[in-house]
A and B are shown apart, each in its own frame.
Chain A
Amino acid sequence: MLNQPKFADDIMTLFARRKALPVHIPVIQPADPFLDMAGEDLRRRIFLTESETGESLCLRPEFTIPVCLRHIETASGTPQRYAYLGQVFRQRRDGENEFYQAGIEDLGDADIAKADAHAIRDASDTLTAVLPGIELHTTLGDQTVFEAVVAALGLPDGWQSRLIHAFGDPVLLDGLLQSLSQASGKVPGIDDNVAALLDSGDEAGLSKLIDRQMVATGYMTNASRTPAEIAHRLVQKARLSNARLDAKALDVLKTFLALDTPMRDAADALAAFSRIAGLDLDAALSIFNARVQALESAGFDLSSTRYRAAFGRPLDYYTGLVFEMSAQGAVLAGGGRFDRLLTLLGAKAAIPSVGFSLWLDRIAAAGAVKSERPSQ
């Protein structure tokens, strides 16, 4: 087992002062929740094993998911802030396969702006406490604003969800914008019968036809996608097949995604963008501005923080804020809002959540580099 970094106790003391309850999370975890939430891509990077009964187990690759599962299982009330510190196990190209992480998960605070601001402030305060005098750079993004832009452009539903799904993955998003600016033409691979039903917009007829075809070919109609679901999406797809993203909308999206500005100017920049683009973003921008105010009243110094409009995480449980803090080119802390995670994991009611995680190995390295430098 790796030794805890020297500053581990300091971190937990600070977390306790920020009213976060320390939780113990076992090292060995069922693997399914991680693979379900983060996707199969994670499989290559986690350490998997099997129980005697064939259950897939893994060494804890991160804390957020088990902390949330524990919250649901213990039926703890909200709001509740949890603190953790411990080893995580992940195969990495750079760095060791086991390292320490610490963080806070803030579950159920309905005051979104305040909870967001506290997550950012607590991450920053912890870093400056263990690395006094370090020059931190914070980057902040907000998926809510992107969603508002996409909605205000009045794009069809199918496109909106596709764009939001690609947010945070620049290559995917770029390719998507390109393909949406060309009309796809006729729906391929359908016979005349289906085409006729499509032309007359007969969704119920399509659904019946698909149902008959499933039965005839021995497919269960309830095990996977249903006839109604397929028919609905086919109609939607046919409606979009002749449409294309017009030049103005494309230009607006590209202008938005290119926004990268000091945090102090972000509110003005977004207001100017919405005015010039002629989009009503008031609801999203008032959340954004409330967060900026909450950060200021929490005593967070905005001067080394930037807002980057394209910054997001392409996993479906992240919802609003994302942020990252780095020093000397290394990311030391990452965090964000994941309002969908708890319900995806089985919580009955929606629980707004935000949190952050610190990379203790990188913090230790940054500290070592710093102390090697001659004092000035």
Chain B
Amino acid sequence: MSVTIALPSKGRMKDDAMAIFARAGLEIVNIGNERSYRGVITGMDGAEVAFLSAGEIARELGNGNIDMGVTGEDLVREDLSAADERVTFCARLGFGHADVVVAVPDVWLDVDTMADLGDVAADFRARHGRRLRIATKYWRLTQQFFSAQHGIQVYRIVESLGATEGAPASGQADIIVDITSTGSTLLANHLKILSDGIILQSEACLVRSRSDVRSASDEVLLDDIVQRVRTIAA
């Protein structure tokens, strides 16, 4: 039996994840050369390490193809329906902070809350002949927040795969749902976050997929890793 732990394959996320694992006494060694996408944990037989993109880690956790991984909470909650039924968030790791927020143009002086936005959305079509448009790559989080939590039903999502914060100024969308860490990009694009418009305060997490078929020894091994990482991350 063995378990697969997935870590981000590049950038700050990779460095920070490796550092946490190292401090937890889990030394990761690449198989073959430095740039290979497979690894092992020294002294821990039965644990394989895979380096994947953060988005793939979220998806593969949902599919149950990997047992545990380090990735952003936003990606897991966006990629998986009923995320809490399919994975467990075992530890918050203190890096990769990003808030998923609802932001509107600064100049919308009358809009400060989701309730204000609900008013605007309600008669948008009567005034403009179309529904309010939201640019985002977070379809699921947006729908849950607007429809289920705030009862705002009538709006359209415009898919945006990059430079989302530019969409309102260029007229592609009216408002955005996007991630921000410092808020400086929003500020530069004359957008403001609604006072109750924080959908999710995300950070990198150690996430475990729920499985009915995992062997007892594998569960023990995963428990051990969780324990060690928690001690460091706490």
Tell me the count of chain A residues lying within 8 A, CB to CB, of chain B: 44
Q: Is the CB of B105 within 8 A of A219?
A: yes
Main secondary structure on B side of the interface with A:
mixed
Residues of the B chain whose Cβ atoms lie less than 8 Å from the Cβ of A39: 147, 153-155
A137 within 8 A of B: no
Q: How far is the CB of A286 from chain B (nearest CB, A)?
A: 27
Is the beta-carbon distance between B156 and A225 smaller than 8 angstroms?
no
Kindly specify which of A117-125, A164-172, A300-308 makes contact with the partner chain.
Answer: A164-172
B108 A190 Cβ-Cβ under 8 A: no
| Cβ contact within 8 Å between A233 and B119 | yes
**Stretch binding the partner chain, chosen from B18-26, B30-38, B41-49, B122-130:** B122-130
Alpha-carbon distance between A158 and B122 when the two chains are bound, in angstroms = 11
Which of A172, A179, A213, A234 makes the CB contact (< 8 A) with B151? A172
B151 and A224 contact, CB distance less than 8 A: no
Interface pair A189/B109, CB less than 8 Å apart: yes
Report if A40-B119 is in contact (Cβ < 8 Å); known contacts: A219-B190, A223-B171, A230-B108.
no
Cβ distance B120 to chain A, nearest Cβ, rounded Å: 7
Which of A38, A43, A176 is most buried by chain B, counting CB atoms within 10 A of its CB?
A: A43
CB-based contact A210/B174 at 8 Å: no
A83 to chain B, nearest CB (A): 29
Nearest chain A CB to B206 CB, angstrom units: 28
* Chain B 135-174 interface mask (CB, 8 Å, partner A; 1/0): 0000110110011101101111100000000001111001
User: Is the CB–CB distance between A169 and B151 below 8 Å?
Assistant: yes
| In contact, B153 and A43 (Cβ under 8 angstroms) | no
Smallest beta-carbon distance A223→chain B, Å? 3
- 8 Å CB contacts to B: which residues of A156-188? 158, 161-162, 165-166, 169, 171-172, 176, 179, 187-188
Given contacts A41-B153, A223-B171, contact A210 B143 (CB under 8 A): no
Which B residues are in CB contact (< 8 Å) with A22? none
Which residues of chain A are within 8 angstroms of B151 by Cβ–Cβ distance? 166, 169, 171-172, 314
- Tell whether B192 is near chain A: CB-to-CB under 8 Å: yes
A176–B113 alpha-carbon span in the complex (Å) = 13
The distance in angstroms between the C-alpha atoms of A217 and B169, with both chains bound, is 8
A344 within 8 A of B: yes
- Beyond A161-B119, A172-B151, A225-B174, whether A43 also contacts B143 by CB under 8 A is yes
In the complex, are the beta carbons of A44 and B107 less than 8 A apart? Answer: no
A314 to B150, CA, bound (A): 12
Answer whether A36 and B131 are a contact pair too, CB < 8 Å, given A41-B147, A165-B122: yes
Given contacts A220-B169, A220-B171, A315-B153, contact A230 B109 (CB under 8 A): yes
B109 and A210: CB pair below 8 A?
A: yes
- CB neighbours of A188 from chain B (8 A): 112, 195
Q: Is A133 close to B, CB under 8 A? A: no
Q: Given the complex of chains A and B, what is the CA–CA distance between A217 and B119 in angstroms?
A: 25
A237 lies within 8 A of chain B by Cβ: yes
From residue A155, how far is it (CB to closest CB) to chain B in Å? Answer: 14
* B106 CB within 8 Å of chain A: yes
Q: Which of A219-238 contact B (CB under 8 A)?
A: 219-220, 223-225, 229-230, 233-234, 236-237
Within 8 Å by CB of A40, from B147, B170, B192, lies B147
For window 177-223 of chain A, which residues contact chain B by CB distance below 8 Å?
A: 179, 187-190, 194, 206, 210, 213-214, 217-220, 223
Nearest-CB residue, chain B, relative to A346: B129
Residues 69 to 93 of chain B near chain A (Cβ within 8 Å): 81
Rounded to whole Å, the gap between the CB of A275 and the closest CB of chain B is: 32
Within the assembled complex, what's the spacing in Å between the Cα atoms of A44 and B147? 12
**Which residues on the B side are within 8 Å of A344 (C-beta)?**
125
Any A CB within 8 A of the CB of B116: yes
In the assembled complex, which residues on chain B have CB atoms less than 8 Å from the CB atom of A236?
A: 110
Whether A210 lies near B115 (C-beta < 8 A) is no
Complexed CA–CA distance, A224 and B153 (Å): 19
- The answer for the CA separation of A158 and B155 in the assembled complex, in Å, is 20
Q: How far is the CA of A233 from the CA of B121 in the complex (A)?
A: 13
**Interface residue? A298 (CB, 8 A):** no
The answer to whether the Cβ of A243 comes within 8 Å of any Cβ in the partner chain is no
Is residue B96 within 8 Å, beta carbon to beta carbon, of the partner chain? Answer: no
Nearest B residue to A219 via CB reads: B169
Cβ–Cβ contact B125 & A217, under 8 A: no
Asked if B143 and A179 sit within 8 Å, CB to CB, the answer is no
| B159 CB to nearest chain A CB (Å) | 11
The smallest beta-carbon distance between B11 and chain A, in angstroms, is 31
Cα A194 to Cα B81 in complex, Å, equals: 44
For the A-B complex with A40-B143, A214-B107, A229-B127 known, give 14 more contacts whose Cβ atoms are closer than 8 Å: A36-B156, A38-B153, A40-B142, A41-B147, A41-B148, A43-B157, A44-B81, A161-B119, A165-B119, A220-B169, A225-B120, A225-B174, A233-B119, A315-B153
A-side interface residues toward B, CB under 8 Å?
A: 35-36, 38-41, 43-44, 158, 161-162, 165-166, 169, 171-172, 176, 179, 187-190, 194, 206, 210, 213-214, 217-220, 223-225, 229-230, 233-234, 236-237, 314-316, 344
Sorted nearest first, the 3 A-B pairs with minimum C-beta distance are A223-B171, A172-B151, A234-B110
Interface CB pairs A-B, < 8 A, 19: A35-B156, A41-B148, A43-B139, A158-B119, A161-B123, A165-B119, A172-B151, A176-B115, A188-B112, A189-B112, A210-B109, A213-B106, A217-B169, A218-B169, A224-B105, A224-B171, A229-B127, A236-B110, A316-B154
